[in-house]
Chains A and B, each alone.
Chain A
Amino acid sequence: MNMTTGRSSDPPSPSAPQAPEIPNGGSEISGLPTEITPETDLASLSQSQLYELNQNLLEDSVPTRALIEDIAPMSVLRAEYENGSQSFVKQIDSLVAKGFNSIRRARGDGDCFYRSVAFAYVDSILKAADVAIAAASAISLLESTFPMLEQAGFQKLVFEDFYDVLASLLQNIAQGTNDGKSLESKILLAFQSPEISNSIVVYLRLLTSARIRTDPDEYAPFLFHPEIGIQLEPREFCEAFVEAVGKEADHVQMTALARTLRLNLDVAYLDGRSSDGHVDFVEFRNSDSTPLTLLYRPGHYDILLKSGNGHT
């Protein structure tokens, strides 16, 4: 059995043990496993070792999701809740009644908000009435973010490689092929490749961070530590909860990113809170285009699709 340690959970859980921080002097680090053999007495392990052991077993037994999956019908999601909470099932049914009959899942690695937005954004360009114009205007919008990134204190060296990855994907779309379908599968493959997919995620994180850092009047009142609730300076908040990979986005990050990309974004909250199947939508409005829609379940985001948006 592979006993490599130190992998994040899937999806991220707020109760997951955290890595040691500088201030606590590494008192936690001793709890992390090195070599656990079948002879190891479980009672001798710390909480975090047991947690990781359990995570490793889970990961060994459950195949890892693709970073972004192909489209699946909502019935697949519904089936997962049928033996569980009926309020979730009712909410799923009401989404289907609204026309949301498909879902495209993102891996629950803490980057799923950014990855879902990125994919839905690129996908919307691919499906635009005039694909070449949509791609070209997306590229010029992204180019126009350089001054903001530099004003936020990011070196060109830091962001240009990530930008290049996203821009070259959009250029491929602009140039097009005669076969729209193969372009679609190329985009999906690109988003499933860690190097390309994660680079795009990082670029979106940097855009989000730069927006918050360069417009503190707008965002500073809403920057709180997600666990302990204390107010943070924009720099502290962005370093720890926007720029760091695997840190999930909350409302303030969504607002900043949607504004920067001039996106209309809807987030449907599938949270089991309503017994009659009502689903709350949180809307971000920055243009007059058709909104991208994400499905939020506590701690995780996927892409929600209406019929006609995808294939079978």
Chain B
Amino acid sequence: MASISARRLAKELREIQLEGCPVGIALVTADDFATWRFSIEVMGESLYEGEQYLLQFRFDSQYPISSPAVQFVVGPERESPIHPHVYSNGHICASILGTEWSPVLSVVAVCVTLQSMLASCKKKERPVDNDRYVRTAPENPKKTRFHYDDDNV
């Protein structure tokens, strides 16, 4: 039998392919059960009007019991959204990605939550500790939070 994570991700992918993503969210790549990328933009009036970001999910074999590693993709021509909970290296400070993760959440549900986090933003600014955090941040954002203790970490 395929692993829990492969079975669940296969179902999530099938649902995305059959029903599409919510407005403003689109699947960019999902070639395996390790890394998926979505484009995300905020519809309607917001501080991020006309901006599009790339959101990356990385899954381990314990997904959906363990949370996916979620971050905005940054590169030479691409920045993370300027937001009080989003670091310039793309890492996101959101409890649902850490201590409040639950297997009830799906990839699309995470996209929607982050989209509405951007939509409700009142002031475009980086977290106060951005520079300090980015200087020493681990590659995988999951390692900066308390999370469920499993044996495969």
Residues of A within 8 A of B (CB): 4-8, 10, 16-22, 25-27, 29-30, 32, 34-35, 64, 109-110, 154-155, 157-158, 161-162, 165, 194-195, 198-199, 202, 206, 209, 239-240, 243-246
Contact = CB atoms under 8 A, between A and B. Distances in A.
B82 to A, nearest CB: 13
Contacts of B65: 195, 198-199, 202, 245
A154 B3 contact: no
A156 to B, nearest CB: 9
A162 B62 CA distance: 12
B48 interface: no
B45 interface: no
Residue from A29, A158, A198 whose CB has the most chain B CB atoms within 10 Å: A29
B145 A32 contact: yes
Contacts of B101: 244-245
A6 B146 contact: yes
Interface of B: 3-4, 7-8, 11-12, 15, 61-62, 65-66, 84-85, 87, 93-95, 98-104, 106, 117, 127-129, 132-133, 136-138, 142-153
B95 A26 contact: no
A154 B87 CA distance: 32
B127 A25 contact: yes
A32 B148 CA distance: 16
A118 to B, nearest CB: 14
A157 B151 contact: no
Contacts of B100: 21, 239-240, 244
B149 A246 contact: yes
B63 to A, nearest CB: 11
B145 A20 contact: yes
B16 to A, nearest CB: 11
A34 B4 contact: no
A6 B104 CA distance: 22
Nearest to B129: A30
Given A6-B143, A27-B128, A243-B104, 19 more contacts: A4-B143, A6-B144, A6-B146, A17-B146, A19-B95, A19-B99, A21-B95, A22-B117, A26-B84, A26-B85, A29-B133, A30-B133, A32-B144, A154-B104, A157-B11, A157-B12, A161-B4, A195-B62, A244-B102
Contacts of A199: 4, 65
26 contacts: A6-B144, A6-B147, A8-B146, A8-B148, A16-B146, A18-B146, A19-B146, A20-B93, A22-B94, A26-B84, A29-B127, A29-B144, A29-B145, A30-B133, A32-B144, A34-B137, A157-B12, A157-B15, A158-B106, A194-B62, A194-B151, A195-B65, A244-B102, A245-B65, A245-B66, A246-B148
B121 to A, nearest CB: 11
Contacts of B106: 155, 157-158
Contacts of B98: 19-20
Residue from A10, A17, A21 whose CB has the most chain B CB atoms within 10 Å: A21
Contacts of A29: 93, 127, 129, 133, 144-145
A163 B128 CA distance: 44
Contacts of B4: 161, 165, 195, 199
B127 to A, nearest CB: 4
Nearest to A10: B149
Given A25-B84, A244-B102, A35 B136 contact: yes
B144 to A, nearest CB: 5
Contacts of B132: 30
A31 to B, nearest CB: 9
Of all A-B residue pairs in the complex, the 9 with the closest CB atoms, nearest first, are A26-B93, A30-B129, A243-B102, A34-B136, A19-B98, A19-B145, A19-B99, A19-B146, A26-B127
Nearest to B93: A26
Contacts of A109: 148-149
A37 to B, nearest CB: 12
A170 B49 CA distance: 53
Residue from A7, A30, A32 whose CB has the most chain B CB atoms within 10 Å: A30
A19 B98 CA distance: 7
B145 A8 contact: no
B148 A25 contact: no
A7 B152 CA distance: 12
Contacts of A246: 99, 148-149
